[in-house]
Amino acid sequence: MADAASTPPCVEVVDLHKRFGPLEVLRGVSTRVDRGSVVSIIGASGSGKSTLLRCINYLELPTSGEVRIDGEAVGFERRPDGQVRKRSAREIARFRQDLGMVFQQFNLWPHLTVLGNVVEAPLRVRGMPKREAMELGRACLARVQLSEKADEYPARLSGGQQQRVAIARALAMQPKVMLFDEATSALDPELTGEVLEVMRGLAADGTTMIVVTHEMAFAREVSDRAIYLHNGLIEEEGPPAQVFGDPKSDRCRQFLAKLLH
């Protein structure tokens, strides 16, 4: 355990396939995300970025392949005797607690206050005592600079504020990894800054993050590694300086060139 190299990576994806009927959206994706690192995923619309994220926390059931969190497969259990057993929905839900997800459309619960949104899962899923949950909730809101909005309802907040609440809600699960699916795409341009700022802060604090984004400058700045996804396959993967600055793949080069115009 003392040896860093021997501990399993935080998230490991092995030969992941996903099809929707005849359409194969993921065609064998394998990668790993180490603890404390930030991985960004870029790629054209429809390349399967969202599907990959959603398969990682089993919102979509992968057609085949494996997702491992801290070395444990999410979808099934390997018994010591070598037998493999599919996990129940309840067990998979337990794994999801370790994965905080932030959606493009915020998806806040409008009938709960901001603080209510944040403490819902700690209270009801983790079974945390109320006092402790409230403290945790307020701490998470402080991290996204929204302490003063705790008792507002989501509908009264701007888009940027709503997305920050969604981030706080995910943080409150104290997850091992945060997954961001185009967290700023639904926002007006002048509101993206505040959300990116919060994400930058998380990265600086050493949060493990997988970030699907169209904000290339941001991705280049914060990530330790970048992945270019094309038609359900990893086409290019490496340090951001390489992927953004000198990609080996022509498709990735073209994709980046198009974005610059």
Partner 1 sequence: MFSQNLREMLDLALFWEYRQILLAGLAFNFYVFAVSAVVAVSLGFLAALGRVNPLRPLRWLGAIHVETFRNAPDYVMLVWVHFVLPLLLSQMLGQRITFAPFVSAVIALGLVYSGYLAETFRTGIQAVPKGQIEAARACGMGGALIMRRIILPQAVRMMLPEAMNNFVSLFKATTIVSLITVPDLMYRVSMVTQQEMRPLPLYTGAAITYFLLIWGVAALARAGSERWRRKIWA
Ligand X SMILES: Nc1ncnc2c1ncn2[C@@H]1O[C@H](COP(=O)(O)OP(=O)(O)OP(=O)(O)O)[C@@H](O)[C@H]1O
Which residue ranges make up the site for partner 1 (CB under 8 A)?
57, 59, 89-90, 93-97, 99-101, 103, 105, 107-111, 120-121, 124-125, 153-155, 166, 169-170, 173
Instruction: Choose between 50 and 57: whose C-beta lies nearer to Mg ion.
Output: 50
* Minimum CB distance to partner 1, residue 151 (Å): 11
Among 11, 29, 37, 49, binds ligand X (CB under 6 A): 49
Are the CB atoms for 195 and 144 separated by under 8 Å? no
DSSP state of 158: -
* Minimum CB distance to ligand X, residue 9 (Å): 23
Are the CB atoms for 16 and 30 separated by under 8 Å? yes
The interface partner of residue 103, options being partner 1, Mg ion, ligand X, none and the CB cut-off 5 to 8 Å by kind, is partner 1
Which residues in 2-21 contact ligand X (CB under 6 A)?
A: 20
Q: For the chain, how many residues are written?
A: 261
The interface partner of residue 119, options being partner 1, Mg ion, ligand X, none and the CB cut-off 5 to 8 Å by kind, is none
Residue of this chain nearest to Mg ion (CB atom): 50
Q: Which of 148, 150, 194, 192 is nearest to 172 (CA)?
A: 150
Instruction: Choose between 180 and 218: whose C-beta lies nearer to partner 1.
Output: 180
The number of beta carbons lying within 10 Å of the beta carbon of residue 32 is: 15
Instruction: Choose between 117 and 163: whose C-beta lies nearer to ligand X.
Output: 163
Write out the DSSP string of 45-112: TTSSHHHHHHHHTTSS--SEEEEEETTEESSEEE-TTS-EEEPPHHHHHHHHTTEEEE-TT----TTS
Q: Which residues bind Mg ion (CB under 5 A)?
A: 50
- Beta-bridged to residue 177, according to DSSP, are 99
Instruction: Choose between 50 and 208: whose C-beta lies nearer to Mg ion.
Output: 50
